[in-house]
Amino acid sequence: MNSTTLEVLFTPAEFAALEARDLTDTVCVVFDILRATSSMITALANGATAIIPVAEISEALALRRDQPGILLAGERDGVRIPSHLTGGMSFDLGNSPREFTKEKVQGRTLAMTTTNGTRALRSCARAWTAFIGSFLNLRATSELLQREPPRHLLLVCSGTFDQAAYEDVLGAGALCELLWPTYSTGAVSDSAEMSRRLYLLEKEDLPAAMAWSRNGQRLLANLDLAEDVAFCLQRDQFNLVAELQQDGFVRCRPTEALTEREGV
């Protein structure tokens, strides 16, 4: 394996720069630990057929008009999108992974919009492929990447508003640690080294780390959402890999080597 690179993007301010980059041979992994990517993984694990990540509420509503069977999921200011933001229709689901139960999502397609996570995914649409990163499916994702390491691997932290989010950096760092034997002899960015070192400092007590992170504090202060923090920090609950596919849908994918990706 020659000329491998491993890089982490920390903040949403860096998303715009992706437009100018050639991502055709880059694999992205997007993290929004609290909570969009954790919710997506939970939904797929509980039988959702696909998730359509969209940036705006209006896009989700348009999909619902065209396909009435689609479930609407998402948040603004951390809570389920209410009717006064849509012109009369409350969303079916918010952004709590605990909402995405088998009873609600099995066999359904979801249109999902969140403040940062879906925006981050959309910024990676021109990459060779993009995977959904979370603690819930971290090992399954790492094992796929280890079997056929991409030449360029870019870990994208969704962040909070336009700033870095501690939990996303820890998620990226945990994946860096799992992949370190593969990439440490290549061109590892300082951002990847920083993420990995931060994770190694915090890995023995991630709940404590979340207790003072900005998003963690916000969720823990809300009695309805506080349990989301512990849920999202569960390690390797689901043996699945989720991919943003070429048609813009997030689906589970078989865990065969990346070089066997259909159409490549």
pLDDT in tens, 144-196: 999 989 999 999 999 998 899 999 999 999 999 999 999 988 899 999 999 99
* HEC sequence for the chain: CCCCEEEEECCHHHHHHHCCCCCCCEEEEEECCCCHHHHHHHHHHCCCCEEEECCCHHHHHHHHHHCCCCEEEEEECCEECCHHHCCCCCCCECCCHHHCCHHHHCCCEEEEECCCHHHHHHHCCCCCEEEEECHHHHHHHHHHHHHCCCCEEEEEECCECCECCHHHHHHHHHHHHHHHHHHCCCEECHHHHHHHHHHHHHHHHHHHHHHHCHHHHHHHCCCCCCHHHHHHCCCCCCCCEEEECCCCCEEEECCCCHHHCCCC
Is residue 243 predicted with pLDDT exceeding 60?
A: yes
- CA-based R_g, the chain, Å: 17
Token pair 């000329």 is found at 3
For residues 31-59, average pLDDT: 97
Is residue 43 predicted with pLDDT exceeding 90?
A: yes
How many CB atoms are closer than 10 A to CB 230? 12
pLDDT in tens, 193-242: 999 999 999 999 999 999 999 999 999 999 999 999 999 999 999 999 99
Sequence-distant (6+) residues with CB within 8 A of 88 are none
Q: Is 8 in contact with 195 (CB distance < 8 Å)? A: yes
pLDDT band for position 138 (50/70/90)?
very high
pLDDT confidence of residue 107: 98
Phi/psi of residue 47, nearest 5 degrees = 100, 5
